[in-house]
Amino acid sequence: MTARRPHRLTGRTTTGLMLFAGRSNPALASAIAGRLGIELGDVQLETFGNGEVYCRYGESIRGADVFIVQSGSPPVNDNVVELLVMINAARLASARRITAVMPLFPYARQDKKSAAREPISARLLADVLQAAGADRVLTMDLHAGQIVGFFGVPVDHMTALPLFARHYRRRRLRGDGVVVVSPDLGRVKAARRFARMLDAGFAIVTKVRPRQEQAVAAEVIGDVRGKHAVIGDDMIVSGGTLAAAAAALIEAGARDVRAFATHALFTPGASETLGESALGEVAVTDTVALSGLVVPTGVRVVSVADLLTDTIRAVFQNTSVSAIFLGENELF
C-alpha cells in the first residue's frame, strides 16, 4: 500500500510548511503540493445560500508557515473574499506566518487614477489583504510594477518569461530571424528582456483604446519584415490587443505572428477573436484554471507549477527568490 504524503514540509523552522488551496485553481495547487512532497492541507470551504463564504481548517495549523494558493480569476470577487476569509481563519488559528500565493493578482489594471473620481483598486486590495492578516504575497507577472509598492509586507514577484523563452527555443525560434514585439509602451522593458533571452530583435506596436477593453493598433516601430514575430503580454482578456497587434505586424511584413501571455482569462468572444486573427499560435500558463473556459484551438499551455514550487520552498527556507530567476524577475 502506498504511504500517504505528510501535510507538513519540515525545514529550517520547527513548525513546518503547510499548503492550502482555495477553489479558484485546485489543479495547480495539487501540482505544487506534489512537487513539494506533501498533501494539500485539510480545509473546509462552503458557499451558503446567501452567497457568503465559510472556511474552517480541518487540522491544527498553530505555528505553521501557511501558504494559501488562490488566483484572482473569475468569479473575481468571490475568489478574493474566499482568500480573505482563509487568511483571517489562519490568523485566528495561530499560524506563524501566512503567505497569499496569488498567481494572478486581480484588479492589477486598476493601478492608478486615469480619470477623476476613480478608485485605485489594486491599492485597495493590497490594504485589505494586509488587514485580513497576510504576512507576505507571492504573485506573478503583475500588470504594473508600482503595485508592489502598494504593500507594506514583502511581495515576491515572479515571471513566466524564462518558461516562455524555453518554449520558443525548443521550437528553434531564436536569433536574427525572430523579433519580440511589445504590444504597448507599458511592456517595453519586459519585451526587451525577453528579446535578449531569444537573442532576437525588438519592436513595438503602439495602440489606442477608444473605450474600455477595446484596443486599436496604431503603428509598428521597428523592423519586422520577413521575420517571425512573437508578441508578449501579461494577460489575455478579450484577445483584442493581440489580434490588433498581429494584424498590424502582418501588414508591416512579418513572416508570421505568435503570441504568449501569462494569464489566460479568455472572456466570452475571446476564442473567436483570436481564432479569426493572424496569430499562428498562442501560448499561456496555468495561473488561471482553463477548465470551464472556451479556449481557442491551438493554445499551448506552459505550467508554472515548478516555478511556484521553487519559490515557495525558497520563501520557507529563507533563501533567495531572485536567484531562481538569475535576477531576471524585476521587469519594470
Cα–Cα distance list, 313 to 16, 19, 135, 288, 317 (Å): 11, 11, 16, 21, 6
207 is catalytic: yes
Contact 304, 166 (CB under 8 A): no
Q: How far is CA 85 from the centre of its chain?
A: 21
Q: How far is CA 22 from the centre of its chain?
A: 16
What's 118's DSSP letter?
-
Residues 6+ apart with CB under 8 A from 92: none
- Name beta bridge partners: 155: 137
**Annotated catalytic residue within 112, 113, 189, 207:** 207
Residues 6+ apart with CB under 8 A from 283: 164, 167, 258, 259, 260, 261, 299, 300, 301, 302
Query: In one letter, which amino acid is 227?
Result: K
Question: Which residues are the active-site residues?
Answer: 207
